[in-house]
Amino acid sequence: MAVEHVTRDSLLATLTQRLESLDYTHAMWEAGAIAFGRVDEWSDIDLQVVVDDERVEDAFSEVESALEELSPIAATFRFPEPVWHGHSQAFYRLRDASPYLLLDLVVMKLSNESRFLQTEIHGAPFVYFDKTSIVTPEAFDAEAHAEKIRGRIEGLRSRFDMFQVMVTKEVERGNPIEAVAYYHAMTVRPLVEMLRIRHVPVRHDFYTRYVYYELPGAVIERLEPLFFVRDMEDLRSKRTVAEAWFHEISEAVGQGPGPNEILDSEHQNGGGRAP
């Protein structure tokens, strides 16, 4: 059994020392849990590095070399290009680190100015170095976000009412695998997004990510049982409950929050589980 001697601090110190010394690197910061003050023993490392456009592959090579100084790399996954966000991304797991201490590395070209630095959405980045003042908040357009949400509300309502039959027909056919899959896709997922629009609109499209921290405790207590079904009769019952709740929240949401509500800190953290 491997000895877990690589820590979060040692890994980040090694990468900072290696990457900051390179003339083609501009900045490195961490996002994810640390941006919201929620780092714990199960947190991974969401690292962002900005480099000269033509040095992306060199940056990955340097990171891998630095990691190998700490521990053999047990597993690597590199996203096929193009990645949806327009950058390059890979995951690493080290043999001699906790299996939870994954390194999620995003390498960004200097010319790409979309860097997930809207603090209202992504929290406050933890900066390790910034040679050229790159790590500055990106403007957050609350009005545009509100307009986007209004469009989502209309789509969610239409989608929800149209496709509940996809769940019920598989229940009637006696196809539990398909019924459960449709239930999560067509019933539970839109319900969660509508709840997020109601309580944390700034991150309405994060689905289940952060729900235990951002949705009110009473909502979590009501929502959690809907994710688990014992059998087809339980599915029938819970789908009916979820449908009624969706329409209840849909009515409460109305046309959606305005810009001021989106920026309201009360709506950015619904008061759920403490960090």
pLDDT of residue 3: 61
- Measured CA to CA, the distance from residue 117 to residue 127 in angstroms comes to 12
Q: What pLDDT band is residue 264 in, cutting at 50, 70 and 90?
A: confident
> Could you give the angle at the alpha carbon of 67 between the alpha carbons of 66 and 69, nearest 5°?
70
**Which pLDDT score is estimated for 256?**
92
Is the pLDDT confidence value at 273 over 70?
Answer: no
Three-state SS across 69-103? HHCCEEEEEECCCCCCCCCEEEEEEECCECCCCCE
pLDDT (tens digit per residue) in 173-201: 999 999 999 999 999 999 999 999 999 99
Q: How far is CA 238 from CA 165, 189, 229, in A?
A: 14, 14, 8
- The size of the chain, in residues, is 275
pLDDT at 272 over 80: no
pLDDT confidence tier of residue 263, bands split at 50, 70 and 90: confident
Phi-psi region of 61 (alpha: psi -120 to 50; beta: other; left: phi over 0): alpha
> Which pair of tokens denotes residue 152?
């989502």
Question: Minimal CA–CA distance to 174: which of 244, 235, 240?
Answer: 235
Contact 19, 105 (CB under 8 A): no
**Separation of alpha carbons 238 and 51, rounded Å:** 49
* HSE-CB for 200 with a 13 A CA cutoff: 26
Q: Where are the alpha helices (DSSP H) in the chain?
A: 8-20, 56-70, 119-122, 142-173, 176-182, 189-199, 211-214, 217-223, 232-253, 259-263, 265-268
67 closest CA partner among 116, 5, 12? 12
Query: Quick one: CA dihedral 220, 222, 223, 227, positive or negative?
Result: positive
**CA distance linking residue 230 with residue 225, whole number of Å:** 11
Q: Is the per-residue pLDDT at 26 higher than 50?
A: yes
pLDDT tens sequence across 133-180: 999 999 999 999 999 999 999 999 999 999 999 999 999 999 999 999
265, pLDDT greater than 90: no
- For 105, the enclosing helix (H) or strand (E) is strand 103-109
Q: Are strands 103-109 and 126-130 parallel, antiparallel or unpaired?
A: unpaired
Joined together, the tokens standing for residue 57 give 């592959």
Sequence letter at residue 78:
R
pLDDT tens, 214-239?
999 999 999 999 999 999 999 999 99
pTM of the model: 0.89
